Amino acid sequence: MKKTLAILLSAMMILPAASIAAPKDKLGNDELKNKQNKSEWSLVWSDEFSGPEIDRSKWTYDIGNWIVDENGKGITSGWGNNEKEYYTDSNDNAFIDDGKLVIKAKKEQVTDQFGTYDYTSAKLKTKGLFSKKYGRYEIKAKLPTGKGLWPAIWMLPEDDKYGAWAASGEIDIMESWGSRPNTVAGTIHYGEGWPNNKYTGKEFELPKNRGIDKWHTYALEWEPGELRWYVDGELYQTQNKWYSKGTDNAANFSYPAPFDQEFYLVMNLAVGGWFDGEVDETTKLPSQMEVDYVRVYDLKKRDYREPVEPVSGPVELPADAKQPLEDGNLVYDQNYQKPVKLVDQPGIELDPMYWNFVKLPDFGGAGSLEVDAIDGRNFAKTSITTAGTQLYSLQMIQNISLGNGGKYKVSFDAKSNAARNMMVKVGAGAERGWVKYSNEESFQLSGELQTYEFTFDMLNETDIASRLEFNLGGNGTNPVWIGNVRVEDITGTPVDQNAAKQPLPNGNHVYNGTFDQGGMDRMMYWNFSGDTAATASVSEDARELHVAIKDGNSDSETVKLDQQGMNLVAGNDYKLSYKARADEPRTIQAALLSEDGTNYSGTEATELTSNMEEYTVEFTMPEDVSDSEAQLVFSFGDEVGDVYLDDVVLLKTSNIPDYGNIDLYPLKNGDFSDGLSSWGNYVHYDASAVISVDNGEAKAAISNEGNETWSVLLEQGNLSLAKGVVYELSFAARSTKERNAEITVENAQYNRYFEKVISLNDEMQQYTYEFTMPADDTASLKMLLGKNDLSPLGAHEVFIDNVVLKVKGAPSEQEPVSTPGIDNGTFADGTTDWNAWWGDQWSGYAEGTMNVENEELKVAISQVGGATYSPQVFQMDLLFEKGSSYTVTFDARADEPRKLNVNIGKELSTDPWFIAYMPTYTVDLTTEMKPYSYTFTMTEETYGDGKIVFELGNILNGNAATNVYLDNVSIIKN
């Protein structure tokens, strides 16, 4: 049974997988092999329900209809599933009758502090009384039928060891639909905390004459790395692929998490909810589920199996699947040359091969899709007239084929005309219960074209009709452009564990400092060197690093543990803490070093004892040194013995930002000189307003403020704000009628970093505020012009101007820094740092000269070569960091119209000779000097000798041999 621990789940995300197993009428030899060998198991706990009443030493109850926090405050109703019953501990809803447990659902009203409910029932659980890891769980039960009845026998973790639901797991031994009296299902829930939970499972069809309202035995056998489900002794599914990831993890918890901890039992009968819908006139109430016994066994004749971590291998799609294209892309018609199918009514089938635009009337979305060219490439532009009530009110969808066990990368380019969000996911259609294969990834778009990407593991069964969904509804009416969409199978691609590392959400700079993440060796991100003198290991039970040093004659510097890619910021204080012990007293050292060995933290010896104790090292980075490639090194010495290490944490304890990587002026077009560019606005259906620019000021002409503060909204999103930085927000505002307005800075989850209610009148007033960011985040500045304390106001106008959001103390004019390292981009120093290449025997020889005239680079071409890059002008030694966004700008012209290609990448000495960091950017030069600009995101590994190339060779339809002029070349890290 699905249990969120936070917020209401969507119906489209909750149904179990639709694969079905059916019993045979007669069992042959093959079927008999599927029967479990019960003689392997020994009974360790049971309830035969033979007493006069429910045994309170074994069972306790959930009460109510709401999930509540530790203070009793309601989080969400219906137990997160839209259930309609109120659970009681009354003998009317749960009791013993003739040696059987009865859980009875009744139609009767109950009221509590949260509301009134029309049904009562019971939910029994063993939490705090009995829980177990692994074993055989067997329940004999008879279940009710009827629309909206949802009986379930399931398990939850005794402690949420790996995080909120479903990161810590859930095991559904059996649940059934009252409206489907011959079907039961078994499911596991895992992954991350809601809404990024995942589930896999299978249904089982009972004989037509022996449905759920007859006695059946439901069993689960749970071993390390494997769960097996049985009905009446028949095996119908085996699960062994899952994962768990916490909010502060750099990687998944080591397999077989989360199913490697103690779980307790739950039995309940729900009424209503998303699983089987609401009750109707055919549903008989009261109805009851009966349980004859609950028995839990342990293995007695053999050890539990050793878990085997699932290995990702080549994905082989079925012959009838939509196969990847030659370049590996699973998406067809990337350039939108085929008609996009409109799906605007229920029952219209998706085009199974190409793009679909979905706007079903039930969800209120309205808009249109057309193909629009940007820089010579086709994009799908969705114009939105009504956003609708759901994110999926408007969708762009393509079916793709995904194979079980594959790892996939989704990438695309996108923009809007102002800041707005868009949710993208990959999942199943209705026939598989809308199950999610990827997380629901939310991307904040801006007015600039950017590349976005995410990865996911396909743990469900192969689906040749998976849905790649761009969900364009529910987020305002700003249009969206989407292009260059790719889905690629990247199964087996290794993770660079030594790459530069950003601090985790909890501030820790150390990845896997708890030695419980990554592969089953639990040592992901750590490098151990000990030659033959020592070994390093992490046991499943202890989950601490054990270094066993066997050769006391080794070099004292030989036995080391290190982690690369620590990101240390100039001038800041840091605190390293770790727990350690040794079997015999000994000395170890911990230090933060640069890649070349410069010691930032000093060398301090730590005397270990046989007790696990915490040790700390505090240090301050030099004022003029930031290092994103620092390393944490533990040196264990050369004495024979055992050393244990755990809970390694490196925190920045001061908040001096690295201003070289911070946007000093994150808000753009605050004087509205470019209209509403970079700004977004929203008018809710309950309000009436028009937002425009008048005489260089933003004007909101409001005739009705609506019912919410946000019913009329002016905002700018995509503001990249840095932890610890003090920001100064200033603006001028007035209103033709006295009123209040609320100003906020908040993230996509509505977490506010700044909020202020201001009073407006007909005099333009200046407002200035300061706030300090507690975390790195992308936020929005919102001016809430809807309902306020003086509403209703009638028709009035609000004017806003000179909005500035800057780092406190930033210069009045921000001077962009060419962070990748472009030198002499204005050619004030002649051709210094620039080079020309005129071809070879393979690319064809070009002829000409390169010099500087009037501080412009002049390339005089008398003959072009055979390739686009012969000739070329280039500069090397440029730094590009993985994950960073860069904008390339330059001015260019030619004496005769021709084309110019711009490429940025890594030069190689062997085939393929060049790895591109951005798509080739082609411009059409004219005789007029014009500015050009292109933004891209670096997706390759960080590299310090990148190259920018201006290709002036044999470019199709634009290869004139003429004079070409360049000026003001820059590359800005955004």
Determine the Cα–Cα distance for residues 84 and 271; give it in Å rounded to an integer: 6
Handedness of CA 865, 868, 870, 871 (dihedral sign): positive
Structure tokens at 73: 């405050």
> Taking Cα atoms as reference points, which of 635, 645, 640, 632 lies closest to residue 557?
635
- The answer to whether residue 175 is catalytic is yes
Determine the Cα–Cα distance for residues 815 and 659; give it in Å rounded to an integer: 13
* E strand segments, 695-793: 697-704, 712-721, 726-735, 739-747, 752-760, 765-772, 777-784
Structure tokens at 787: 């309902």
Determine the Cα–Cα distance for residues 803 and 783; give it in Å rounded to an integer: 11
- The answer to whether residue 349 is catalytic is no
Among the listed residues 158, 170, 223, 705, the single catalytic one is 170
Determine the Cα–Cα distance for residues 172 and 878; give it in Å rounded to an integer: 54
In angstroms, the Cα distances linking 614 to 202, 518, 575, 611 are 47, 24, 12, 10
Determine the Cα–Cα distance for residues 647 and 356; give it in Å rounded to an integer: 50
Alpha-helical runs (H) found in 503-623 = none
> Taking Cα atoms as reference points, which of 563, 775, 575, 769 lies closest to residue 657?
775
3-state secondary structure of 830: coil
3-state secondary structure of 836: strand
Among the listed residues 83, 85, 138, 175, the single catalytic one is 175
Is the preceding omega at residue 157 within 30 degrees of 0, hence cis? no
Determine the Cα–Cα distance for residues 318 and 18; give it in Å rounded to an integer: 19
Determine the Cα–Cα distance for residues 766 and 731; give it in Å rounded to an integer: 6
> Taking Cα atoms as reference points, which of 574, 573, 605 lies closest to residue 587?
605
SS3 of 477-537? CCCEEEEEEEEEECCCCCCCCCCCCCCCCCCCCCCCCCCCECCCCCCCCCEEECCCCEEEE
Determine the Cα–Cα distance for residues 135 and 298; give it in Å rounded to an integer: 5
Contact 184, 314 (CB under 8 A): no
SS3 of 727-744? EEEEEEEEECCCEEEEEE
In angstroms, the Cα distances linking 467 to 321, 399, 703, 892 are 14, 5, 43, 43
Beta strands at 641-652 and 545-549: parallel, antiparallel or unpaired? antiparallel
3-state secondary structure of 239: strand
- Number of residues written out for the chain: 974
Alpha-helical runs (H) found in 500-654 = none
Stretch (H or E) spanning 327: none
Looking at residue 343, the DSSP 8-state letter turns out to be E
* Catalytic machinery residues: 170, 175
